[in-house]
């Protein structure tokens, strides 16, 4: 059964009393439905990918980040050079999935350093993803790229990021990764 949830909406949870395959002890325990709050828009400039090849965990490539920028209502600044992505690509018939593993250092406009790590996937038709770095006409709705963000800082002005849960909808055009990050509330 395929359920279609429109972008920007949240599917409401099913009542435990309607889920019949499990014996529930607390069917009237109603949890809050999460919401998303926009965190920032990010544009990361990348070097060229270095293909390492098939290894014990998959077909590995790496790329170093040259820098970039991010801005949102509560934080803004630049991406410091030297981060990167250590991705593993797996092919499934005509589909491809890249398992992303990135690390960045962000410098806010007021001097705080934030460590950012993302994990996630970029998935879609092999024919689209193989051209992604070269064909700038490919649009972000032709593939799916979603990220989980983990951030940390020692700066008390941004201590709230140490306990937040963050996700992003992302894309890639040429040698740039672009995403909109959200805090899960």
* 44, 65 Cβ separation under 8 angstroms: yes
Q: Residues of the chain with pLDDT > 90: what percent?
A: 79
Nearest C-alpha neighbor of 77 from the set 153, 1, 170, 163 = 153
What's the pLDDT band for 1 if we cut at 50, 70, 90? very low
Please tell me which of 22-26, 31-35, 37-41, 90-94 the model is most confident about, judged by mean pLDDT: 37-41
pLDDT in tens, 57-115: 999 999 999 999 999 999 999 999 999 999 999 999 999 999 999 999 999 999 999 99
What's the pLDDT band for 27 if we cut at 50, 70, 90? low
The whole model's pTM is what?
A: 0.90
Give buried/exposed letters for 97-115 (b at 16+ CB in 10 A, else e): bbbbebebebebeeebebe
Across the chain, what does the average pLDDT equal?
Answer: 93
Section 113-127 average pLDDT? 97
| Domains recognised in the chain with CATH numbers | 35-184 (2.40.160.20)
Section 147-171 average pLDDT? 98
């Amino acid at each position: 059964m395929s359920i279609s949830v429109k972008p920007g909406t949240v599917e409401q949870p099913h009542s435990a009393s309607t889920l019949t395959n499990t014996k529930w002890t607390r069917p009237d325990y109603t949890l809050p439905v999460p919401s998303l709050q926009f965190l920032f828009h990010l544009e990361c400039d990348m070097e060229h990918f270095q293909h390492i090849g098939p290894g014990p965990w998959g077909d590995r490539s790496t790329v170093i980040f040259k820098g970039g920028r991010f801005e949102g209502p509560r934080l803004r600044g630049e991406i410091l050079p030297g981060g990167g992505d250590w991705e593993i690509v797996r092919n499934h018939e005509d589909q491809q999935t890249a398992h992303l593993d990135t690390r960045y250092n962000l410098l806010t406009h007021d001097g705080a350093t934030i460590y950012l790590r993302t994990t996630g996937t970029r998935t879609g038709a092999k024919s689209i993803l193989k051209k992604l770095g070269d064909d700038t006409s490919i649009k972000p709705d032709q593939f799916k790229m979603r990220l989980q963000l983990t951030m940390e800082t020692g700066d008390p002005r941004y201590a709230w990021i140490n306990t937040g849960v963050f996700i992003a909808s992302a894309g890639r055009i040429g040698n740039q990764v672009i995403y909109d990050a959200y805090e899960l509330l």
